[in-house]
Structure 1
Amino acid sequence: MTDTLAQQSALPKVAILFAQYAAFHVDRVEAAARRLAGRAEVKAVEYATSSETYAWEPASGFEHARHVTLFPGSSYDDVGHLARYRAAMKAVADADMVCVGVPYSERDIIALSWRLKAAGTRCVMMTESKFDDFPRILPREQAKARLLSCYRAAIVGGLRQREYLRFLGFGDKPILPGYDSVGVDRIRAQGTGSEARWADRHFLYVGRFVEKKNLPVLLAGYARYRELAGPAARKLVMAGDGDLREALEKQAGEGVAFTGFLRAEQVSRRLAGALALCLVSTEEQWGLVVNEAAAFAVPAIVSTAVGARDVLVRNGVTGFVVEPQSVEGVARAMLALSQSEPAWQRYSDATAARAHMGDVERFADAVEALFDPDSEGATRALDFWDEMATS
């Protein structure tokens, strides 16, 4: 055991930092740690156990990465910037490469990234931000570009994220795909046995009930779909909770069911029996639930704002891409997916064929590419850009 620990301590170190770890974060760091086993030690660093934004269960299941919680039992939002900076700097001080998955605009992250640059540590930005998330102001973007110049590489979700970083001055710096990924095998295992017959499948929304999710339009689109489909209309299940729940329940008509907040395993079981996932947000950097739906070969109806469409949704092939405010567009997409089992099966088969593109092995490829540019993972990461753009 002593010899093993000594060998590990002599290996290069890769730290992966998040505000709070959920199951999909564990998926990513474990995939990276397995990939770099014997070549580097991967340290999974999280600031806190909980947060005000996400009701995730405490992270578990670490086998290959070394897990460190800087403020165990605390909420991320209750820890001050200075305390977060000091704790994170101490935790990653011995790392050769630090991948940062906390918003780059946080004051402690700004200080941390520039301190790492000064120390000669390779600092890698992980982001799902894209230009079209909301209106951009040029002076602010120019200041942001200077702020981000300390990062030496980036791992992003898809094409729009890559182009946004190029706009922000990343130029020839490595920008690799695979950030927004989930453990497809884990997701499938959670939903095993919950598959439904064609006749019993339903439309499904999973997420928070907040304004940017555009849920009034989804409900209006569903109501219009019921007019078009008549007695054959499928139900719509709204899985989640939030401040808008009461208003949404008042708007919802016949055929809409609300489940409340669901744990990860319950979400997987719902997805396994769904006809289609519906995510028509006005702002959505990515939308990992699209990855989860693809794991079960469930087509998706997404808005143009959803980042995951760049990788996982092909309009008319694996689902439909609609304008966020188009009630009729939502309705017609629902109708197209619900009328014919053979037609739905074609969408499902095409979705299954793309599911690997949202798997954590893509994140492992990106980390390996930055660690060893001559590796097979590096080749796959670069090829992934072409697959994303042309397939």
Structure 2
Amino acid sequence: MGNGSELKSELPQVAILFSQFAAYHVDRVEAAARRLAGRAEVLAVEYATTSAAYAWEPAEGIEHARHITLFPGKSYDEVGHLARYRAAMKAVSNADMVCIGVPYSERDIIALSWRLKAAGTRCVMMTESKFDDFPRSLPREQAKSRLLSVYRAAIVGGLRQREYLRFLGFGSKPILPGYDTVGIDRIRSQDGAEAARWEERDFLFVGRFVEKKNLRVLLQGYARYRELAGGAARKLVLAGDGELAGELRELACDGVEFTGFLRAEEVSQRLNRALALCLVSTEEQWGLVVNEAAAFGVPAIVSTAVGSRDALVRSGVTGYVVEPQSIEGVARAMLALSQSQPAWQRYSDATAERAQMGDTERFADAVEALFDPDSEGATRAVEFWEEMATT
């Protein structure tokens, strides 16, 4: 563990804890640190440099927060629960508020959250889980409710995440939006080229080729779209890789392009040339790529399961919301977005206007609101809830 985490700052400390930093984690901790500058020191704490689940590049660009890597050069998965608990407790022991973005079911996180409560530290849960992610068991949910009783507040993605926490017994505890956000300025800066012309734009999927992404239905919906659109049909670009790659290549019809895994900059370049983002998952807690697409004014076709639709997608305005198993629904949404340039431009303009709802300034609002309930950030957080519920 490095960076002198055991030294007590003269300012109050706010710790933000993740298992591993990707670029969007850096976006969030930097936004919070800039917002609290002069009022609190933000500790950006990550357990490890890598993990088995995500091939993210090591974090860089943390300038306003104090960056602490508990196990530099190691994978999160190879560090035991006890070692993780001890290192995290040491790193955040002087913090006045600890925001935890590691799954609350991990044994070391359970121990850490209860220890922090005993020490009088304000413990904040950060989550994107919602009730409709998968079938729920009442005994399990009751047990989960008891585990989460130690948290004094939460930062969540959107409306369904808030309702799930209320179901789990959060009651009158503060629940604020803004967890699932990205640095819109950073995303835009990754593509220096001009946006593509209308005629050059195609449908785009970005993500892992795994079951929950529902890519078989997407391919079937695209095939049906080609029947409807005829010679005017656009391409469908699948950017990513995963266990289903071979099967999907066999299922794909004409007009489907596979790019393989893309770096972050390449994803931004593809998004800036897209007609619409397609994310029709059967399970999707949020889907940050929808935030990234909005940064470029790219409408989205998303399923009802996608959490980000609560904030960023309004059917018929900034894209379309479809049932995850509706092949015809996917096809008709594609057709609606591809037939008229003036109509598409209206979708694009509305999407760009809404992009700020997926920016990390919303995360900074939430952290500031918990640090200072009388702040402007607290007012904006309430307004964010109202925007999601009414617009």
TM-score, normalised with respect to structure 1: 0.98
Report the counterpart of residue 28 of structure 1 in structure 2: 28
Unaligned runs of 5+ in 1: 1-6
Report the counterpart of residue 330 of structure 2 in structure 1: 330
Q: Distance in 2 between matches of 1:247 and 1:69?
A: 39
CA deviation profile, 1:340-371 (whole Å, cap 9, x unmatched): 00010010011011000000000000000000
Contact 1:202 1:236 in 2 (8 A): yes
Report the counterpart of residue 159 of structure 1 in structure 2: 159
Q: How does 1:151-300 map to 2 (within 5 A)?
A: 151-300=151-300
Q: How does 1:1-391 map to 2 (within 5 A)?
A: 9-391=9-391
Instruction: Sort the Cα spacing of 1:76 and 1:8 in 2 relative to 1 into closer, same or farther, 3 A.
Output: closer
Deviation at 1:192, TM superposition (A): 2.6
**SS of aligned partner of 1:191:** coil
Q: Distance in 2 between matches of 1:125 and 1:9?
A: 23
Q: Distance in 2 between matches of 1:51 and 1:316?
A: 39
Deviates more, 1:67-76 or 1:282-291: 67-76
**SS of aligned partner of 2:353:** helix
Q: Distance in 2 between matches of 1:286 and 1:54?
A: 16
Instruction: Spell out structure 1 runs of 4+ moving beyond 3 A.
Output: none
Unaligned runs of 5+ in 2: 1-6
Q: Distance in 1 between matches of 2:115 and 2:234?
A: 55
CA deviation profile, 1:77-119 (whole Å, cap 9, x unmatched): 1111111111111111110000000000111100000000000
Deviation at 1:195, TM superposition (A): 1.3
CA deviation profile, 1:236-280 (whole Å, cap 9, x unmatched): 000001011000011011000111111111100100110000000
Contact 2:28 2:364 in 1 (8 A): yes
Q: Distance in 1 between matches of 2:9 and 2:165?
A: 34
Equivalent pairs counted in the alignment come to: 385
Contact 2:133 2:285 in 1 (8 A): yes
**SS of aligned partner of 1:9:** coil
Q: Distance in 1 between matches of 2:299 and 2:312?
A: 9
Q: Distance in 2 between matches of 1:257 and 1:140?
A: 43
Deviation at 1:194, TM superposition (A): 4.7
Deviation at 1:191, TM superposition (A): 1.8
Q: Distance in 2 between matches of 1:37 and 1:295?
A: 26
Report the counterpart of residue 4 of structure 2 in structure 1: none
Contact 1:224 1:327 in 2 (8 A): yes
Deviation at 1:64, TM superposition (A): 0.2
Identity of aligned residues (%): 83
Q: Distance in 2 between matches of 1:162 and 1:258?
A: 37
Q: Distance in 1 between matches of 2:27 and 2:193?
A: 22
Q: Distance in 1 between matches of 2:8 and 2:116?
A: 22
CA deviation profile, 1:39-93 (whole Å, cap 9, x unmatched): 0000000011111111111000011001011111111111111111111111111
Amino acid at match of 1:197: R
Amino acid at match of 1:281: S
Deviation at 1:284, TM superposition (A): 0.2
Amino acid at match of 2:292: E
Contact 1:318 1:348 in 2 (8 A): yes
Q: Distance in 2 between matches of 1:268 and 1:191?
A: 6
**SS of aligned partner of 1:44:** strand
TM-score, normalised with respect to structure 2: 0.98
CA deviation profile, 1:127-160 (whole Å, cap 9, x unmatched): 0000000001111101100010000000000000
**SS of aligned partner of 2:9:** helix
When the two chains are superposed, the root-mean-square deviation of aligned CA atoms in Å is 0.9
